[in-house]
Amino acid sequence: MLSYMSEFIGTALLVLLGDGVCAAVNLNKSGFKGAGAVYIMLGWGLAVMLPAMAFGAQSGAHFNPVLTVGLAVIGAFPWAAVPGYILAQMLGGLVGAILVWVVYRPQFAATEDADTIRGTFCTGPQIRNIPQNILCEAAATFALVFFIVAIGHAGMTNVGDVGLNYFFVYAIIMSCGFSLGGTTGFAMNPARDLSPRIAHAILPIPNKGSSDWGYALVPVVGPLIGAILGALLANAVILG
């Protein structure tokens, strides 16, 4: 039960901080409006790293359904715990996104552009081509999970000081974002995209427009493919 609660709270905080930086940069009347992509990359890296530091010992700090599945595929996580982890992560992502709206409610009300509002919650492609978009999400998530598994197997995460190992997570997120995020926004995580998309759909936000459900499967299918392939290759290389 502690592990599930840790995944729920950790994912909620991840989305609160991660979507929060998107709100800070993009919404009208925000003091950081226009800060740019580098600001968002730095904020998202920290949004992943800090909950991982707080909850890594309790749950392993997955905060991502496809990472949980990838680890289960290679035998690094029990399949029996997968449904509970995924439920906790998805609910955490929903709560985190709702909290972003609570904090930035005046800024949402001051923003008229529907794409900007939706982009605070979830990702979208720069060029809409669903097969290519799935490929891009798969590639980014492949890199994410490959390095998480490979570095973990190599023993590089056990560096002694409490929490210092999660700077590796920060580096992985930053690298994936800088190198592979310009195409689809590097969701890499259904709890970070699908759950906030649901929040966008149900919240009473003025001028919010469509939640773009036609794109919603891309940041689910792509990351799932990439996570499984990344975990399998990392496991094969390290153990082979």
pLDDT at 162: 46
Report residue 158's pLDDT band, with 50, 70 and 90 as the boundaries.
very low
Q: What confidence tens digit (pLDDT) does each residue in 186-211 have?
A: 999 999 999 999 999 999 999 999 99
Q: Does 101 score more than 70 pLDDT?
A: yes
Best CA proximity match to 180, nearest among 211, 232, 226: 226
Confidence of residue 240 (pLDDT cuts 50, 70, 90): low
Radius of gyration of the chain (CA): 17
- Average pLDDT, stretch 137-146? 98
More confident residue, 150 or 67: 67
pLDDT recorded at residue 167: 83
Q: Which residue has the tokens 């904020």?
A: 43
Contact 27, 206 (CB under 8 A): no
Query: Which amino acid appears at position 23 of this protein?
Result: A
CATH numbers and ranges of domains, the chain = 1-238 (1.20.1080.10)
For residue range 21-71, what is the model confidence (pLDDT) as tens digits?
999 999 999 999 999 999 999 999 999 999 999 998 899 999 999 999 999
